[in-house]
């Protein structure tokens, strides 16, 4: 099993998709024929030479046209792309100039990046992953409660009927997701009119046009939906922070609350920036369990012009390390988080505090004029201005699409593990059944042409064998924890429901709050020595994971709001 996982991990992390430099043309030359890009795509697998990648089954051109474009020998100079971060950034419409010198329409490049990565890593992973399911299931046969590896994974979270909870949480936010999907669908049709007829036919959005390799980030449509002069990605790039500057500012967010700073070993051994895996990396944090409990490490690779997403990844990964440090006095078996979901939620909760408008002003990323009320034609709340609406929209476009993605990735694997779906026959058709039904997306090419493929392999966490339900639960826990920390910062307690937060939650600035920091240190120090419901109650005053805002004793009419609503 270890050998097989090592094999598929190398396929994901080391494979590269390559094209001839400038598609064989000259800078500033005429536009490139689509067949040149699709017919001149190559793949470089770890330890092997570069070979031609057959995209004939998924290309937007006929097989005959494609055959004419396929070269008879390898090009001398090639431009190669890793899955992360290169192709992922292309899917976020960054670095388009690297593909044929920008001489192709964006939708062509997006479809090529989306399809070529799946065709490169999916087929070689499909057979070994089927064998891995057999081996993992054999290792989990430990009695009536451990019939497959899915049950072993779910046990770690200590939640009875976890599948029912996951379904309930998803269906609580699904109506809001569907509204956002409808809005974005309208703007996709406007931006890509050639796709309008197919979108109207079934309401499904082509996956490659949404944002991110897994259609999980729709922030690229924020300006189309609600134009605003402030662009946070440009603000981060203009700040001209180095990779270490980014990490230092993430550290400062935690340290301002009185939490421990990073250790000397952290700065000595962490891979930050260009040294992180030779440009190929997935953000990672690690507890090395060294004597003296001071060796914690992180891998992050922000781009040279750091963007808001890089800041998120850095704050998130540092959350793991802060949790490790605060729980380090526990016996080793308890020195992790109370559950994996809490480990993921801490960094996300702290990120919500790190991007409040107040803290963005403090960092020099936002002009303070955007903090004051404006005369607006939308909304009756005079405390909000146009930046608040643009900010909340961007947060919704970044967070809500991840929830069904996190939900279905484990739904898919659980059903494979327990035999509900025949892996050999239905692996890819079932995957797309879930994506169409839950995410409302479809592949660029027909599902029938994808039946022998293995598109789930395009996600890092499959090759890394990491459960996704922890991220799904963290999507809800992070807001609950952030609200609890806000109550602690304002009132010194989380348990009194009469204490209504006097400002919109996204404007609750935690920076420098020793009260919030004291609550965090007290709860994080427990590590895994107590049940997660005890930790959640201490942090929020509640014992259940919920999608709804806490009810208050306010005299105003009571209503439950979903997170993400303005």
Q: What beta strand segments (E) does 388-483 contain?
A: 441-442
As annotated, the binding site for Zn(2+) includes 316, 320, 344
- Cα distances (angstroms) measured from residue 170 to each of 142, 173, 368: 30, 6, 37
Tell me the H-state helices in 435-513.
Answer: 460-463, 469-491
Is the separation of the CB atoms in 504 and 559 below 8 Å? no
In the block, tokens 């891995």 appear at 132
Crossing angle (nearest 10°) for helices 402-417 and 423-434: 160
Nearest to 124 by CA among 54, 193, 41, 185: 54
**Distance in angstroms (rounded) separating the CA atoms of residues 176 and 562:** 8
As annotated, the binding site includes 316, 320, 344, 470
- Cα distances (angstroms) measured from residue 245 to each of 13, 249, 252, 278: 26, 6, 10, 20
Report DSSP state, residue 33: P
Pull the structure tokens for residue 318: 């540092």
Is the separation of the CB atoms in 126 and 427 below 8 Å? yes
Is the separation of the CB atoms in 210 and 441 below 8 Å? yes
461 in active site: yes
- Residue 442 forms beta bridges with which residues? 206
**Distance in angstroms (rounded) separating the CA atoms of residues 375 and 352:** 26
In the block, tokens 């997403």 appear at 309
**Distance in angstroms (rounded) separating the CA atoms of residues 397 and 545:** 22
Residue of 181, 216, 282, 461 marked catalytic:
461
Nearest to 100 by CA among 31, 22, 20: 22
Pull the structure tokens for residue 34: 């689509």
**Distance in angstroms (rounded) separating the CA atoms of residues 90 and 85:** 9
Nearest to 301 by CA among 330, 322, 280: 280
Pull the structure tokens for residue 466: 């990491």
Q: String of b and e for 109-119 (b: at least 16 CB within 10 Å)?
A: bbbbbbbbbbb
- Residue 17 forms beta bridges with which residues? 43, 81
Residue 334, number of CB atoms within 10 A of its CB: 15
**Distance in angstroms (rounded) separating the CA atoms of residues 32 and 36:** 7
**Distance in angstroms (rounded) separating the CA atoms of residues 200 and 207:** 15
- Cα distances (angstroms) measured from residue 156 to each of 110, 162, 260: 38, 11, 27
Residue of 84, 317, 406, 483 marked catalytic:
317
216 in active site: no
| Catalytic residue ranges | 317, 461
């Amino acid at each position: 099993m270890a050998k097989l996982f090592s094999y598929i991990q190398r396929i994901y992390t080391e494979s590269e998709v390559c094209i001839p430099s400038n598609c064989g043309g000259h800078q500033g030359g005429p536009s490139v024929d689509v067949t040149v890009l699709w017919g001149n795509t190559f793949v470089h697998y770890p330890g092997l030479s570069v070979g031609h990648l057959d995209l004939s089954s998924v290309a937007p051109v006929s097989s005959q046209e494609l055959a004419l474009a396929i070269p008879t020998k390898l090009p001398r100079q090639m431009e190669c792309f890793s899955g992360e971060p290169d192709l992922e950034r292309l899917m976020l419409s960054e670095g388009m100039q690297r593909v044929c010198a920008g001489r192709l329409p964006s939708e062509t490049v997006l479809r090529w990046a989306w399809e070529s990565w799946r065709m490169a890593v999916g087929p070689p992973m499909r057979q070994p992953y089927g064998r891995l399911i057999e081996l993992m299931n054999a290792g989990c046969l430990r009695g009536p409660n451990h019939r497959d590896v899915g049950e072993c994974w779910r046990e770690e979270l200590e939640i009875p009927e976890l599948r029912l909870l996951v379904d309930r949480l998803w269906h609580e936010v699904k109506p809001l997701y569907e509204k956002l999907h409808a809005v974005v669908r309208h703007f996709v049709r406007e931006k890509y009119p050639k796709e309008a007829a197919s979108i109207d036919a079934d309401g499904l959005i082509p996956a490659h046009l949404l944002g991110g390799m897994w259609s999980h980030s729709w922030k690229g449509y924020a300006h189309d939906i609600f134009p605003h002069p402030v662009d946070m990605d440009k603000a981060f790039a203009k700040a001209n922070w180095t990779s270490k500057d980014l990490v230092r500012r993430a550290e400062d967010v935690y340290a301002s609350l009185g939490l421990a700073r990073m250790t000397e070993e952290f700065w000595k051994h962490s891979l930050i920036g260009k040294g992180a895996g030779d440009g190929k990396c997935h953000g990672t944090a690690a507890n090395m369990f060294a004597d003296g409990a001071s060796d914690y490490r992180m891998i992050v690779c922000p781009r040279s012009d750091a963007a808001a997403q890089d800041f998120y990844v850095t704050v998130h990964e540092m959350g793991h390390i802060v949790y490790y440090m605060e729980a380090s006095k526990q016996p080793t078996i308890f020195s992790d988080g109370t559950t994996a979901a809490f480990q993921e939620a801490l960094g996300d909760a702290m990120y919500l505090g790190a991007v409040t408008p107040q803290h963005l002003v403090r960092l020099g990323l936002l002009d303070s004029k955007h903090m004051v009320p404006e005369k607006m034609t939308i909304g009756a709340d005079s405390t909000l201005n146009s930046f608040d609406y643009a900010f909340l929209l961007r947060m919704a476009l970044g967070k809500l699409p991840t929830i069904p993605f996190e939900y279905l990735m484990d739904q898919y694997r659980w059903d494979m593990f327990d035999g509900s779906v025949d892996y050999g026959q239905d692996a890819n058709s079932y995957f797309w059944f879930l994506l169409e039904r839950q995410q409302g997306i479809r592949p660029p090419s027909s599902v029938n042409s994808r039946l022998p493929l293995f598109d789930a392999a395009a996600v890092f966490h499959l090759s890394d064998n990491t459960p996704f339900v922890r991220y799904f639960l963290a999507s809800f826990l992070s807001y609950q924890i952030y609200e609890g920390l806000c109550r602690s910062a304002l009132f010194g307690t989380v348990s009194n429901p009469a204490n209504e937060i006097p400002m919109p939650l996204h404007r609750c600035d935690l920076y420098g709050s020793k009260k919030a920091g004291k609550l965090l240190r007290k709860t994080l120090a427990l590590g895994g020595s107590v049940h997660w419901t005890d930790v959640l109650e201490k942090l929020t005053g509640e014992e259940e994971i919920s999608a709804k805002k806490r009810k208050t004793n306010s005299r105003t009419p009571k209503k439950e709001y979903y997170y993400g609503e303005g």
